[in-house]
Structure 1
Amino acid sequence: MTQFRLTNLLFLLCGGVVSCGGVASAGAEQVPEAPRIDSVGMAESQPHATDAAVIWYDDFDDPATQRQYPERSGETTDATRFGDRGRSLQMDYRKDERGTGGRKLFFGDSPVYPAQAVRPEETFTDVYWRIYVRHQPGWTGGGPAKLSRATSLTPPGWRQAMIAHVWSSGEALTLDPATGVRGDRVVTTKYNDFANLKWLGNKPASQFQLHSREESGRWVCVEARAKLNSPGKNDGLNQLWIDARLEAERRDLDWRGGYADRGINAVFLEAYWNDGSPVDQSRWIDNFVVSTEPIGPVVCPRNPVLFVTPNHGPGGQRSWEAEIANDPAGQSVVWTSRPLRGTDRVRVGPDTGQFVGSLAGANQLDASQVYFVRVRQQGATGPWSAWSPWHQPFRTL
């Protein structure tokens, strides 16, 4: 058989569309990458602003709120923002540098900046904190070591009874709890007194790869919890949720031994990259909440707007579609969009798609329900991408 006839036979066996056995067809089509939902349009008023359980809420929109942080670096920006409104905190990384941008919040019985502490004189032993974080598209180098921490500061100065670190682990996130107490006595003598800290375990890390290229370019909900142990017992708890899924936890912790003079009284948002960034790049923080109760994702109207990430190819985009489910595994889909063209957003409703399943015939989503979204796009030449994972959770009013 001649080489010409063999090549044509292989072309026919492969359907004339894709390469097979190293022989590429002239009509090969590029399958685009699966996009993501960048963010959702929030309700004008978030319940965190008036919830008695909330210690602090900052959407980074009000300059006066920024001045309430005793220590802060980096500027807010309206160039990158959640839900296409307001502002966010920008963290910048220059090549080989460790990053700029951060906020230090003090509250309760903090001995540091007591005059500027939020809800002073209160003692908090169980604290949740939530942020949304967005890494620029094509983020490189894995995770900066630091993202956030909650801590118990004790007098004199910056001695720490415990620290609940939320740190990077490669492209993932991990919890790295530490205690500065032995028996009922604080043994640290300064901030980050590594010689006197006892580490309580930093594995396993999250399955979700927050710092991967695939998850860059969109807002991700990150929530953590630190619950102090009862004095003298090993019943402390440290937990991490990403996109409303429990990703890591440390149970039976002895955060503070028998020490009970101070509670958790500070949460810090941090940019520090121990080894420096391999390239110039940025990330952003928004919708920062500290509470004594679980926080969860942002709250949206029952006909929310979904914002899709820009197309990064390969090739152009013909259209995109989104689906909404009321469970994180997508077992119960309740709305499907029609193919959408020439727009980066869609308002969920019967005019832009179809309510299905338990919401068949409805014209809006159920109230007080957490939903998850997935999305796919069609390339300019016709093929569809795979569906994205279910992500970008939100709660309806």
Structure 2
Amino acid sequence: MSRGIIKNKVFSGGRVTLEIKIILLLLVPVFAILSFGKGKVNGNGFGGIKELHVGTPHIDYVIMSSDQYQDNLKEIIWYDDFSTSKTYMDSRGGIDTTVNFGAIGGSVNVGFKKGDVFGLGDRKVAFGDFPGNGPILKQGQSFNEIYWRIYVKHEHGWEGFPAKMSRATSIVSQEWQQAMIAHVWNGGGPILTLDPARGVFEQTDSIITTKYNDFDNLVWLGNRPTAQFPLTSPEESGYWVLVESRAKLNTPGKNDGINQLWIDGRLEAERKNLNFRGNFTNYGINAVFIESYWNKGSIKDQGRWYDNFVISTKPIGPVICPRNPTLVKTDYHGEGNLKNWKIELSSDYNGKEVVFASNLINEDNKVAVNTETGKFLGPLKGKMALAPGTTYFVRVRQQSTHGQWSAWSRWHQGFRVE
């Protein structure tokens, strides 16, 4: 019989060696399971199994109520969900019926071809005391404060930083001299900023601009601090994001004008104590433009869309939805295929008060919020639906067919219950 020595101990080698080999073979799959998703394959093929990526999803949109009440509110100056073709003072580009916020309707296509400075579309709305050609909404009125809102979606995998999104302005002559402009522009990288400007000399009523976009004569009121939300980053592409702005003219003789920007329900940037129009009161804010302009040109062909465009004299906020709304998830991106996903709802965008948690969802990319699909929690425990008049935010995660879960999304896609 053969013999061996380990640590100076004598043993019978044949049978023990065979048993050790069997034990090691049995342990291989155990080590593989323990290292799954953690190790990195080295040059020899060892070191565990390569981590499989599962992209973090978002809620693309929430199916809206059929009535958004825009036609019944006196504060509404303009509303367009791009389900039909409306007449603007000026417009460029058609309605895209293949991409929209919701299950039906359309959006305005403001995407870019590679190298293009001007995107595929824009819209200009005139109202109040606008001095040029119409159509002019609410003609004859004067507006010292307005809010304007759009939802914007960037094609999944978007790259680059387009320069200009929208502006509100006061046009004061047939030559399109401007008393003020509230720009929503790129703030460097994937973020937005506010860049307000005055076209009046100090605290007088003397217009100093000579034409539209007379940048040399405008008084620039500050473009910092910027927003923080990386709107045009690849990570935030592929779903609809709410962007709302406010411009309030100063009281003549005072520096109390305001310019604010909300993204996805959060106040992202603001300018206070502004001298927006000096003592000039002949014209108020009378135009809003939504734009697609990229000074350096787009780096590739890529899609971008605007929807649910509203101008109002009061805060607008998110879309209105039923008490048992249906939420639609973005497409799956990552290794393997989609196996499961789940959502949570909160009554605040920090997730401090979770009011609904879904069961695992595995049949579709949409889910209705009700007692069949999940549980109502916290202040809604025992309820059958969300509370009327309340705004809610969502977070979502998904699981691949390999078994790995993505990270939770941040709380996003706020909606107000009717």
User: Which amino acid in structure 2 is aligned with residue 111 of structure 1?
Assistant: P
Deviation at 1:26, TM superposition (A): 4.8
Alignment of 1:180 with 2:180, yes or no, is no
Q: Secondary structure at the match of 1:214?
A: helix
Whole-angstrom distance in 2 between the partners of 1:275 and 1:393: 33
Cα RMSD, aligned residues only: 1.7
Alignment of 1:286 with 2:307, yes or no, is yes
Deviation at 1:158, TM superposition (A): 0.5
Asked if the contact 1:128–1:291 (Cα under 8 Å) also holds between the matched residues in 2, the reply is yes
Deviation at 1:332, TM superposition (A): 0.5
Q: Which structure would you say has the larger Rg?
A: 2
Number of positions where the alignment pairs a residue of Structure 1 with one of Structure 2: 385
Q: Secondary structure at the match of 2:232?
A: coil
| 1:41 to 1:26, Cα distance in 2 relative to 1, 3 A | same
Alignment of 1:254 with 2:275, yes or no, is yes
TM-score by length of 1: 0.94
Whole-angstrom distance in 2 between the partners of 1:246 and 1:14: 45
Whole-angstrom distance in 1 between the partners of 2:384 and 2:375: 9
Whole-angstrom distance in 2 between the partners of 1:363 and 1:129: 34
Asked if the contact 2:356–2:376 (Cα under 8 Å) also holds between the matched residues in 1, the reply is yes
Q: Which residue of 1 aligns with 2:130?
A: 110
Deviation at 1:83, TM superposition (A): 1.4
Whole-angstrom distance in 2 between the partners of 1:19 and 1:332: 33
Which range moves more in the overlay, 15-24 or 358-367? 15-24
| 1:19 to 1:340, Cα distance in 2 relative to 1, 3 A | closer
Q: Which residue of 2 aligns with 1:153?
A: 171
Q: Secondary structure at the match of 2:236?
A: coil
Q: Which residue of 2 aligns with 1:87?
A: 106
Q: Secondary structure at the match of 1:358?
A: helix
Whole-angstrom distance in 2 between the partners of 1:226 and 1:218: 27
Q: Which residue of 2 aligns with 1:44?
A: 66
Asked if the contact 2:40–2:49 (Cα under 8 Å) also holds between the matched residues in 1, the reply is no
Q: Which of 81, 106, 116 in structure 2 is aligned with 1:59?
A: 81
Asked if the contact 1:19–1:25 (Cα under 8 Å) also holds between the matched residues in 2, the reply is no
Q: Which of 87, 90, 95 in structure 2 is aligned with 1:76?
A: 95
Deviation at 1:47, TM superposition (A): 1.7
Alignment of 1:366 with 2:387, yes or no, is yes
User: Which amino acid in structure 2 is aligned with residue 167 of structure 1?
Assistant: W
Q: Kindly provide the CA deviation profile for residues 267-288 of structure 1, in whole angstroms up to 9, marking residues without a partner as x.
A: 0010011110000011000000
Q: Which residue of 1 aligns with 2:242?
A: 221
Q: Secondary structure at the match of 2:105?
A: coil
Whole-angstrom distance in 2 between the partners of 1:338 and 1:146: 41
Whole-angstrom distance in 1 between the partners of 2:385 and 2:116: 48
Q: Which residue of 1 aligns with 2:52?
A: 30
Asked if the contact 2:40–2:47 (Cα under 8 Å) also holds between the matched residues in 1, the reply is no
List aligned pairs for 1:280-319, cutoff 5 A: 280-319=301-340
Whole-angstrom distance in 1 between the partners of 2:39 and 2:360: 31
Whole-angstrom distance in 1 between the partners of 2:47 and 2:103: 42
Alignment of 1:17 with 2:32, yes or no, is no
Alignment of 1:380 with 2:398, yes or no, is no
Q: Which of 349, 353, 364 in structure 2 is aligned with 1:328?
A: 349
Structure 1: gaps of 5 or more residues: none
Q: Which of 273, 289, 294 in structure 2 is aligned with 1:268?
A: 289
Whole-angstrom distance in 2 between the partners of 1:361 and 1:78: 40
Q: Secondary structure at the match of 1:186?
A: coil
Deviation at 1:19, TM superposition (A): 4.4
Q: Kindly provide the CA deviation profile for residues 290-315 of structure 1, in whole angstroms up to 9, marking residues without a partner as x.
A: 00000000000000010000011133
Deviation at 1:384, TM superposition (A): 0.7
Alignment of 1:166 with 2:187, yes or no, is no
Deviation at 1:31, TM superposition (A): 3.8
Q: What is the percentage of aligned positions where both structures have the same residue? A: 49
Deviation at 1:15, TM superposition (A): 2.9
Q: Which of 143, 146, 154 in structure 2 is aligned with 1:135?
A: 154
Alignment of 1:233 with 2:251, yes or no, is no
Q: Which residue of 2 aligns with 1:206?
A: 227
Whole-angstrom distance in 2 between the partners of 1:320 and 1:79: 25
Q: Kindly provide the CA deviation profile for residues 44-67 of structure 1, in whole angstroms up to 9, marking residues without a partner as x.
A: 00022211111111111122x2xx
Deviation at 1:92, TM superposition (A): 2.6
Whole-angstrom distance in 1 between the partners of 2:33 and 2:47: 9
Alignment of 1:396 with 2:417, yes or no, is yes
User: Which amino acid in structure 2 is aligned with residue 147 of structure 1?
Assistant: M
Q: Secondary structure at the match of 2:216?
A: helix
Deviation at 1:17, TM superposition (A): 1.8
Structure 2: gaps of 5 or more residues: 1-23
**Could you list the runs of 4 or more consecutive aligned residues of structure 1 that deviate by over 6 angstroms after TM superposition?**
none
Whole-angstrom distance in 2 between the partners of 1:178 and 1:348: 45
Whole-angstrom distance in 2 between the partners of 1:353 and 1:249: 39
Asked if the contact 1:109–1:122 (Cα under 8 Å) also holds between the matched residues in 2, the reply is yes
Asked if the contact 1:30–1:379 (Cα under 8 Å) also holds between the matched residues in 2, the reply is no
| 1:30 to 1:127, Cα distance in 2 relative to 1, 3 A | same
TM-score by length of 2: 0.89
Whole-angstrom distance in 1 between the partners of 2:81 and 2:255: 36
Asked if the contact 1:31–1:379 (Cα under 8 Å) also holds between the matched residues in 2, the reply is no
Asked if the contact 1:29–1:381 (Cα under 8 Å) also holds between the matched residues in 2, the reply is no
